[in-house]
Amino acid sequence: MPDQIVGAMGWPIEHSLSPAMHNAAFAALGMTDWRYEKMAIPPDIVRHSLKQMRENGVIGVNVTIPHKRAVMPHVRPDEIARRVGAVNTIDFRDNSATNTDVQGFMGDLMAHDVLPRGLRVVILGAGGAARAAVYGLVESGALVQIVNRTPENSAKLISEMRVDAEVADLSAVATTDVIVNCTSVGLYPHIDESPLPDDAIFKRGVVLYDMIYRPAQTRLMRQVEAAGGQAIGGLGMLVRQGAAAFTIWTGIDAPIVTMFNAAKAALTG
C-alpha cells in the first residue's frame, strides 16, 4: 500500500477529475509510493474527518464543494485563503491551508496572454469561485465590476473581502475588456443555458473566461466567439490549481502537460 496519500474531499465527489490528473502526474514522475484518492465526506462530519485524516497520516487534501468554508476553523489558512474566505488545499503536516484557485485562474489567464493590469473586467457571480477571481484580478491591477442577480450579494462580497471593486449590472458587459463567468449557468447537463441574453452586446475583441469545463464549449462561449471575441474554457484553471497543490504536497514542480492531458481524457472518456 502506498505510503503517501493525498486526495479530494467533497460531497458529492464521484465526478472529480483530480484523481486522474494527479495519479497521472505521480506515474509520469515515477512516484510509485504516492496515490490520490476521492474522499466522500458528508457536511456533518467535516471536523471529525479532518482529524481522522491527519491522525492516519494523509499528507493533504483538496477541498471542494460544499466544504471550502466549513474547513476554515479547523486549519491554518494563509492570507490568500482568509481574504478569499475559502480553502481548497490543506497540508496536514503543519495544518496549513491556502486557496490555489487564485493561482490556477490567474496562471491560466496569463497562459492565454491575458494580462489583467489596467483592463476592465466584469465578474458574473458572487460565490466562492467569484471570490478567487476577484482577489487575483484586483491584486493584479484590473478594474473589477461584479454582476450578480442579487446586487446585495455583490456588495457583500466587496465588503467582506475589502477589495477595490464595484457593483454593476449586465449593461457593463457591453464595455468591458474581459468577462469572467463564475456562475454554474451552462454547466452540464444544462448546456443550452447562458448567464447572458442572446442579444447581449460585447466590446470588440472581448475576452471571456468561462470557469465551466463541462461542456468544453458553453453557450456563452459560442455567443462571445460569434461576436468576434476570444473564449477560454475552465479546464486549464482546474489543472493549474491542482498543479499548485501537487507542488505544495510534494515539493516538486508539477508536470502540467501530463495533468492537462489526463484531465482532458477523463473528461471525454
Do residues 112 and 232 touch, judged by C-beta distance below 8 A? yes
3-state secondary structure the chain: CCCEEEEEEECCCCCCCHHHHHHHHHHHCCCCCEEEEEEECCHHHHHHHHHHHHHCCCCEEEECCCCCCCCHHHCEECHHHHHHCCCCEEECCCCEEECCHHHHHHHHHHHCCCCCCCCEEEEECCCHHHHHHHHHHHHCCCEEEEECCCHHHHHHHHHHHCCCEEEECHHHHHHCCEEEECCCCCCCCCCCCCCCCCCCCCCCCCEEEECCCCCCCCHHHHHHHHCCCEEECCHHHHHHHHHHHHHHHHCCCCCHHHHHHHHHHHHHC
For the chain, which domains are there? 4-99+236-268 (3.40.50.10860), 112-233 (3.40.50.720)
Distance of CA 247 to the CA centre of its chain: 17
pLDDT block averages, 10 residues each, the chain of length 269: 88 94 98 97 97 97 94 97 96 98 98 98 95 97 97 96 97 98 95 97 98 96 98 98 98 98 92
Sequence letter at residue 154: S
What pLDDT, on a 0 to 100 scale, did the predictor assign at position 268? 87
Do residues 23 and 266 touch, judged by C-beta distance below 8 A? no
> 68, 156, 203, 264: which is the annotated catalytic residue?
68
This prediction's pTM: 0.95
Distance of CA 133 to the CA centre of its chain: 8
| Grid cell of 40 as nine digits | 466522500
Sequence letter at residue 225: E
What pLDDT, on a 0 to 100 scale, did the predictor assign at position 153? 96
- The answer to whether residue 68 is catalytic is yes
What pLDDT, on a 0 to 100 scale, did the predictor assign at position 2? 60
